Amino acid sequence: MNKQIFRQAFGKFFAGLLCVALPVFLSAGTVRFWNGWLLIAILFVPMFAAGIVLMRRSPKLLKKRLNAKEKESEQKLVLVLSAVMFLSAFVVAGLNFRFRLIVLPAWAAWIGAALCLAAYVMYAEVLRENAYLSRTVEVQEDQKVIDSGLYGVVRHPMYAATLVLFLSMGIVLGSPISCAILLLYIPIIALRIRNEEHVLEQGLAGYGAYRKKVKYKVIPFIW
């Protein structure tokens, strides 16, 4: 096991945990916000398990994803907008719990949890199918177009998985207002996809033909 990768992975994992826990529980004014703990468990237990698997089976892929930095200016904007969206959704969820504004029933949170886990399963399949999967918009050396499996259904199955995951988070937190805020992910990811497809069509051989073959970007028959 590479100790440097382990330290880097643990550092980012812990930082991500704090980025969720602090706004959720500070705005709630208590740690007795069970929806917050449910979200943390859903997000970070599978993430920890996936990190261990990648560290043992594909450390190069893990290192690539840990060291990823966006080069495209549009993608840097996407990251900023996403951060603002998530922070707003988490703070509002905590305030919604504290002041009992519009709180969803417990059974809705468990449905949201099931959707989140389903999104993780889909994301794991995308990782299995595409060895070139990257956190950044780029064309890698010797990269080839993947057009089978989920990539034969939509061009961006990873974003389909994140769409389900992120839109479910507000349900898990029991906050319809947070659900509304997280809907902003749709135009944000549309901006990312537009730039990503431009980069891929310019630099990845065969991507233009793939776009014609697989017509839908994220949701079959819709988008």
Per residue in 55-91, pLDDT tens? 777 666 666 666 666 666 777 888 899 999 999 999 9
Q: What is the C-alpha R_g of the chain?
A: 18
> Out of 3.40.50.2300, 1.20.120.1630, 2.40.50.1020, 3.40.50.720, which CATH number does the structure's domain 3-213 have?
1.20.120.1630
Kindly indicate the confidence band of residue 53, based on its pLDDT and cuts at 50, 70 and 90.
confident
**For residue 215, which of 152, 170, 158 has the smallest C-alpha distance?**
152
Which pLDDT does position 52 carry in this prediction?
Answer: 77
- Chain-centroid distance of CA 93 in Å reads 19
In angstroms, what CA-CA distances link 184 with 30, 51, 70, 124, 152?
Answer: 27, 28, 21, 24, 27
Residue 73 dihedral angles phi and psi, to the nearest 5°: -65, -35
Instruction: Characterise 188 by phi-psi region: left (phi > 0), alpha (psi -120 to 50), beta (else).
Output: alpha
Which pLDDT does position 218 carry in this prediction?
Answer: 96
CA distance 109 to 57: 34
| Boundaries of every domain in the chain | 3-213
Which pLDDT does position 76 carry in this prediction?
Answer: 83
* CB contact at 8 A, 2 and 60: no
Q: What is the pLDDT of residues 148-184, one digit of tens each?
A: 999 999 999 999 999 999 999 999 999 999 999 999 9
Instruction: Kindly tell me if the per-residue pLDDT of 138 is higher than 90.
Output: no
* CB contact at 8 A, 163 and 186: yes
